[in-house]
Amino acid sequence: MSHVVANGVTFHVQRLGDAGPPAVMLHGLLLGSVASWYFTAAPALARDHRVLLYDLRGHGKSERVPSGYDVATMSRDLACLTADDVAEPLDLIGHSFGALVALRFALDNPGRVRRLVLVEAPLPPSRFGQFAAFLEQSPGEMVESLPGPLREAMAGGSRRARRLLQSLSFLVGETSLVRDLEAEADIPDRELATVRCPTLCVYGNDSECRPVGDRLVAAMPNAELLALAGGHYLHLDQAEALTARIAEFCHG
């Protein structure tokens, strides 16, 4: 485990793999952390990639900051954290809001992205009622509404559960995250069409975000869609299938 200062924030980072092209894996807001990928797809990808994982600002073991939870700022975080890898294009893999950060980075830095994997990108996040309903709950209610595997991991008053409750209380009550999320604008199709790198869009058939996958594939010239059984948390619902497809896509 190490910490790196980038864009004025101290980030908790993890690195896996010793050889191959660089890859960055980004987790989602509120419930996500380095663990989202570290215990699922990251080890498989690290067999032939140098993988960077980090807790988004305010999440996990990264610095708790009051603002900067919009996509543009988090894309700048990513740019600063990968400044040493400018000589070689990145593979970017993101889940949920992390996928929006990866997409924004690809739009702003087209020469720096080799392949792009967008897992359950909500476009824009303010449009989806489930997100709004989740944010209206208390931190305790948020934990109760988690998908089964996450809720079970939080049960029993464990240290991990306490940390998550503290994190949720901070992010929802003491930061600009909710306001930033509500203000996040859509990305027009004409802008999406400028993403030329090979892109894999992965969505759950039971997810509210599922129609976004069809839209992205229609707008982006080199995008393909993978629909899996499950909901928004495919790294949990379909960990094996998702891991295999990410590794295959990024190996190509």
| pLDDT tens-digit map of 183-192 | 999 999 999 9
Q: Average model confidence (pLDDT) for the chain?
A: 91
Give the separation between CA 137 and CA 139, rounded to whole angstroms: 6
**DSSP three-state, residue 162:** helix
Q: Which DSSP symbol is given to 96?
A: T
> Does 156 have pLDDT greater than 60?
no
| pLDDT tens-digit map of 18-44 | 999 999 999 999 989 999 999 999 999
Domain at 10, CATH number: 3.40.50.1820
Structure tokens at 245: 């497809």
Domains held by the chain: number: 1
| Residue 165 domain boundaries | 2-251
Residue 200: its pLDDT value, please?
A: 98
Instruction: Report the run of H or E that residue 94 belongs to, with start and end.
Output: strand 90-95
Which of 37, 98, 96 has its CA nearest to residue 247? 37
pTM of the model: 0.93
Share of the chain above pLDDT 90, in %: 76
For residue 124, whether the previous peptide bond is cis, meaning omega lies within 30 degrees of 0, is yes
> What percent helix, strand, coil does the chain show, rounded to 5?
45, 20, 35
**Contact indicator for 92, 26 with CB cutoff of 8 Å:** yes
